[in-house]
Structure 1
């Protein structure tokens, strides 16, 4: 069945997107190139198996994980992949703001068996890029993520998408990200170079290792690139 016909369409024009999607608004910038480098590193991290499901999380709140997850999804779609970005932060969801879409129903409703994935997933302005918002904020996010329903959801989505990106809550705040990391092929840890401390990053890594997650790598956010560096001069 045609993917575009199976899922609900809610196209948006690029003029309605949030400024956080730099890979769309300024695709030739240094930052956009960095996201393409992240995409390449993810692709070659586990070549023998390949990555379909990717978890993006951080140690603490406000480290930029949701923005990074969204931009990674964009660069994969720009490559021609079919991409689904899932807002798995069922406590403080933000992806619906980033993509300027409704959050009336989403992941929580699917896991609670209130709605089908086909009726909840929304198409974005970009061909091949889809978003599943958080949906109604549930009283038991951790229990929903630990349920068999999530595993069934992932198995179903793998039939339609090349890449599925989960934007999860911070690792040191709640157990949600740990639960999800065990179910995903790879995990990316976001570290804000300007505010994160070393001990929190180590604790986050330890939590991921305890859940037997495959840590693909770490993304340093808000890192100031010296203007006299070769990389800056090359992309200036």
Structure 2
């Protein structure tokens, strides 16, 4: 199903519009997506959702950040994870340091409490990517990652993972089947139909639960 059609969602234009301009049309679109995901949630499972896209530059990270803010505004405890260990951006969007993050946790050199960063937004915490690693697929597909998600799922009402593009990296496929649902972001003016179809097929082969698509229209 199509969760929503987003308009004018270029990162340079909106960044955290759900925070800076919560009464805007775009912020209202995120509230609609938030509501749709709520209807699709399985309350018996940890609410861990992954956001990905077929390729780069399709607005995936900006949508992840704004969706996390919108969910937190509903007074749910939300954790946003930057799992793009190759090209992280969440620390830039939220203007926080990235010296310690997910990669440190998975290497066992920091604890959850030492690593998670509270944001300026009530109920929203951020787990940045951390220092660069040379084996992102192996580290994100490890038992440590699985155990970490189980622990974080019990601590937060919703965990939202911003992952790399599904067609360009293997780690997204590894992460996808550990989540309750996957949201695919496609750009109407950029994503080729064949790549969108291939993304759906790849997620199916990874035994991921694709709950919907966000159509990003610039």
> Which residue in 2 is equivalent to 1:43?
38
Structure-2-length-normalised TM-score:
0.91
Distance 1:42 1:166 in 2: 14
Structure-1-length-normalised TM-score:
0.84
The answer to whether 1:118 aligns with 2:113 is yes
Runs of 4+, deviation exceeding 2 Å: 46-51
Larger Rg: 1
CA displacement at 1:46 relative to structure 2? 3.6
Kept after mapping to 2: 8 A contact 1:43/1:50: no
CA displacement at 1:48 relative to structure 2? 5.6
Distance 1:46 1:78 in 2: 18
Q: For structure 1, which runs of at least 5 residues remain unmatched after alignment?
A: 1-17, 224-236
> How far does the alpha carbon of each residue in 1:84-142 deviate from its partner, in whole angstroms, 9 at most, with x for none?
00000000000000000000010011111111111010000011100000001100000
> Which residue in 2 is equivalent to 1:100?
95
Report the secondary structure of 2:50's partner residue: strand
With over 3 angstroms needed to count, the CA separation of the structure-2 counterparts of 1:133 and 1:202, relative to structure 1, is same
Structure 1 or 2: larger strand share?
Answer: 2
Kept after mapping to 1: 8 A contact 2:46/2:153: no
Q: Which has the higher contact order (CA 8 A, sep 6+)?
A: 2
Alignment match of 1:173 (pick from 153, 157, 168): 168
With over 3 angstroms needed to count, the CA separation of the structure-2 counterparts of 1:48 and 1:76, relative to structure 1, is closer
With over 3 angstroms needed to count, the CA separation of the structure-2 counterparts of 1:210 and 1:45, relative to structure 1, is same
